Chain A
Amino acid sequence: MRGSSLRGGPDPVARAAVVSVPARSVARPWLSHSARRLMFGYTLLAPAALYVMLLVAAPFLFSLYLAVSDASVGDPVAHFIGLENFRAAWEMDLFWLALRNSVVFLVVAAVLKSLLGTSLAFLLLQNFKGKKLVRGLVVIPFTLPIAISVLSWKWMYDSQFSVINWVLSRLGLIGQFGTEGWPIWLGDPRLALIACILVNVWRTFPFSAIVLLAGFTSVPVEVLDAAKVDGCSFFQRFRHVVAPMIFPILMIGFLFDTVFTLSDLSVVYLLTQGGPANATKILPVLAYQIGIQAGNLGRGAAIALFLVPLLLPALIIVLRNIKRREY
């Protein structure tokens, strides 16, 4: 009894398990225990791995191939044409406009949603009555299916019956309907991109807040208390204890958001289809319009692939951080 507990194996079940293992492999000597475990494991893994390989990895490689071919919807036989599609995109003014719009969209949205998200996270960190309800309400934008909530925004941005304009007009901030001072959110090239950005910010600021909150609550109170006892001020504690501990989780949240914001087409497509005067043309919309609507698969694939260099840094950082996952 004493011997086994010294070796750290006081649990009879665990001991019995150790004993039972050789007995089993003796029963079937033609296959060792570990070989059977491996076979079992790979059999279980196979369906998921195959699915992902056939419908994600293979299409990804296929899109590389499409991008260097002249495939179109009308002519499914693709010929290799080298980097022609990339060159053509490179020389297209619309491509550069779309790239610029995508970057502006990403950066402005990121700044706004981190400001809103941080303030919300700090508020939700407090203890107050009805916190659960408040949390449930403020995350609604993120949980609504995107195509559905964009419709509501399209109605709120209506050129005449916009409820936003109704309020602003009653407050005296904008002019009357029909005058210069009545903003037409989705019809004015100066306003359309910011209108789309606002929808993205509305949808994702709760996500930023919840990720941040998850980071804060992962810092053990004991650690903070220890730092306090050691004489750290609030800002020292934040700078040297909280910040480094929540940094990985924050990076992952931030980068996920980057990937989804950069590659999302639904907000812009449903609100403006890239118009007016291409003011909201972003890369995904351009890729969709050229690839599917104009039927030029190769050119569309090439434009979509221009997202990869934008996303790659994000992927690499996620990859490096994800390994720190606690088990």
Chain B
Amino acid sequence: MAVMATQRAMAPPMTQRRKEIRRHVLIYAALIPFIVIAVFPIYWMAITAFKQDPDLYRMDNIPFFFNMKPTLRNFDILFHQTNYGAWLWNTFTISAWVAGITLVTGVPAGYALARLKLPGSENTGIAIFLTYLVPPIILFLPLSRIVAELGLQDSWWALVVVYPTFTIPFCTWLLMGFFKTVPMEIEEAARVDGCGQAGAFLRVILPISLPGVLTSVIFAFTLSMQDFLYGLAFVSPGDQKPVPVGVPTELIRGDVYYWGSLMGAALLVGLPVAILYNFFLDRFIQGITGGIGK
């Protein structure tokens, strides 16, 4: 109400509003193609997952809606006739371990690099971050040797060891940025109050930086989900795979595609991850562009 009142006071109401409406229509019209392109594959995934098989394989119907009654059969197959349940569990446990390892190493490192004025800390920080840019395709052959030496091949523990190679660099860098934003005075005040260096870190800085720590956990999860190569190369038993590897490698047998259950499997994991990641996307962009766009 208040906004409308001020608008009316500022300009002749009709032309102003008409201009606004025209502008909005133009913008939406230009945005629609982008939205359709971006969202359609998800929509297609979702509708396929709930369609009956005969409905999928007909060319005379309009394929964008249900021509037969929607069904949950595809999910039933997924959970009762495949390892999907195990993959979900693997994905979750792998990510939890990776998040744990990332926090235990990344939080102290980020703090040390941001706060303790170590000689060469700037360059060390950059060096750690740059390892994030070493592509898995260069590392996976030597890592397969290391995984074999550790006796972890063919178990999801291999991925717990390997995924931190990209989550630690990224999250350390992210946390460095976080710790830099905590005012120095707070830490000094804690020291005055009798905290030691470690006490100030644990009792004062860490609780304040909880949002940063939480963000790191989210990234440990979502970045683990983005991997395909390591899972493909290191884990071959069907019940040990995480979802993004298990679905494309196990649910496609020869040339037979069960598109309904495939899309169901993809949707069930893809959607929550996409939504979660969505909330933290700005942090991600900020992280890699070096916090310039704050």
Partner of A123, one of B31, B165, B292: B31
CA distance A218 to B248 in the complex (A): 41
- For B35, the closest partner residue in chain A by CB is A137
Interface residue B214 (Cβ < 8 Å from any Cβ of A): no
Would B146 and A55 count as touching, CB distance under 8 A? yes
Q: Which residues from chain A contact B273 at a C-beta distance below 8 Å? A: 143-145, 148
**In the complex, are the beta carbons of B192 and A20 less than 8 A apart?**
yes
Please report whether the interface of chain A is mostly helix, strand, loop or mixed according to DSSP.
Answer: helix
Bound CA span A123–B273, Å: 26
Q: Is the CB of B293 within 8 A of A249?
A: yes
Report Cα–Cα, A233/B293, bound state, in Å.
25
Chain A, interface size: which category?
A: 35 or more
Tally A-B pairs: CB < 8 A. 311
Q: Are B106 and A48 in contact (CB under 8 A)?
A: yes
CB distance from A8 to the nearest CB of B (A): 13
Among A36, A55, A149, A259, the residue within 8 A (CB) of B143 is A55
| SS of B interface (majority) | helix
A313 to B2 CA separation, bound complex (whole angstroms): 55
Which B residues are CB-close (under 8 A) to A144?
A: 42, 270, 273-274
Residue in A76, A253, A259, A326 whose Cβ sees the most chain B Cβ within 10 Å: A326
Binary flags per residue of A118-152, CB closer than 8 Å to B gives 1, else 0: 01100100101100001011111111111111111
With A144-B273, A152-B44, A211-B289 already in contact, the answer to whether A17 and B189 are too (CB < 8 A) is: yes
With A and B bound together, what is the CA distance between A269 and B188 in angstroms? 54
Contact with B along A210-232 (1 / 0, CB 8 A): 11001101100000000000000
Q: Are A41 and B116 closer than 8 Å at their CB atoms?
A: yes
Neighbouring B residues of A44 by C-beta, 8 Å: 108-109, 111-112, 116
Name the distance in Å between A235's Cβ and chain B's nearest Cβ: 21
User: For residues 154 through 179 of chain B, which have their beta carbon under 8 Å from a beta carbon of chain A?
Assistant: 161-162, 164-165, 168-169, 172
Partner of A52, one of B111, B165, B290: B165
Of the candidates B228, B243, B257, the one having the most CB atoms from chain A within 10 angstroms of its own CB is B228
| Besides A52-B165, A56-B139, A307-B137, 12 new A-B residue pairs in contact (Cβ under 8 A), listed by A number | A59-B142, A63-B141, A145-B273, A151-B262, A151-B263, A152-B44, A265-B228, A269-B232, A291-B141, A324-B290, A325-B291, A326-B292
- Which B residues have a C-beta under 8 Å from some C-beta of A? 23-24, 27-28, 30-31, 34-35, 37-39, 41-42, 44-45, 48, 56-57, 59, 63, 101, 104-106, 108-109, 111-113, 116-119, 121-122, 124, 126, 128-131, 133-146, 161-162, 164-165, 168-169, 172, 180, 185, 188-189, 191-192, 197-198, 222, 225-226, 228-229, 232-233, 243-245, 247-248, 257, 259, 262-263, 266, 269-270, 273-275, 277-278, 281-282, 285-286, 288-294
Show the binding face of A for B, using Cβ within 8 Å. 11, 13-14, 16-17, 20, 36-38, 40-45, 47-49, 51-52, 55-60, 62-63, 66, 76, 116, 119-120, 123, 126, 128-129, 134, 136-153, 155-156, 158, 160-161, 163, 166, 177, 202, 206-207, 210-211, 214-215, 217-218, 248-249, 252-253, 256, 259-260, 262-263, 265-266, 269-270, 283-284, 287-288, 291-292, 297, 300-301, 304-305, 307-308, 311, 315, 318-319, 321-327
